[in-house]
């Protein structure tokens, strides 16, 4: 079965509060992550909430990378969506998790636009990563 795209939903726990509070740093991380994943960056926008938290979006030719942070919870919600097979979203995600100094990640890969005759659906694969122990 062919798929239109791959959507990665990442729950990053135990992130460094100082990093995920900083909109400028988050912007740098996501832009570098797009480059690491061989994505063609088109534009980006990041917003700093008061007193804490950042939301940001990088539009890439392949689709997008987004993040929403809750520094007081040391948590970041990350989405990486790509169409086609040219880019390397796994490298993008690995870079983001390392840069946020995340302790743990719950990742779901959703194969989007899976065609079955004239109907489109999706397939979900989920895994967890303990990033500090080295045990996936």
Q: Which of 83, 108, 122, 133 is catalytic?
A: 83
Q: How far apart are CA 22 and CA 11, in angstroms?
A: 19
**DSSP letter, residue 40:** -
Is 15 tagged catalytic? no
Would you call 68 a catalytic residue per the annotation? yes
C-alpha Rg value of the chain to the nearest Å: 15
Strands (E), 14-103: 41-48, 54-60, 63-70, 75-83
What is the spatial distance between Cα 51 and Cα 61, in angstroms, rounded to a whole number? 33
Q: Tokens for 14?
A: 């135990």
Active-site residue identified among 7, 15, 21, 63: 63
Please, are residues 14 and 103 in contact by the beta-carbon 8 Å criterion? yes
Q: Quick check: is 7 catalytic? A: no
Joined tokens for residue 64: 């997008």
Catalytic residues: 63, 68, 83
């Amino acid at each position: 079965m062919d798929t239109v795209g791959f959507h990665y939903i990442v729950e990053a726990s135990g992130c460094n509060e100082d990093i995920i509070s900083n909109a400028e740093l988050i912007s740098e991380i996501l832009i570098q992550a797009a480059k690491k994943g061989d994505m063609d960056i088109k534009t980006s926008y990041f917003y700093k909430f008061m007193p804490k938290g950042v939301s940001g979006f990088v539009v890439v030719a392949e689709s997008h990378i987004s993040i929403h942070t809750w520094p007081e919870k040391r948590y970041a919600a990350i989405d990486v969506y790509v169409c086609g097979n040219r880019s390397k979203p796994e490298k993008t995600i690995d870079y983001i998790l390392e840069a946020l100094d995340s302790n743990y990640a719950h990742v779901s890969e959703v194969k989007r636009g899976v065609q079955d005759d004239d109907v489109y659906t999706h397939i979900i694969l989920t895994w967890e990563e303990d990033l500090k122990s080295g045990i996936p």
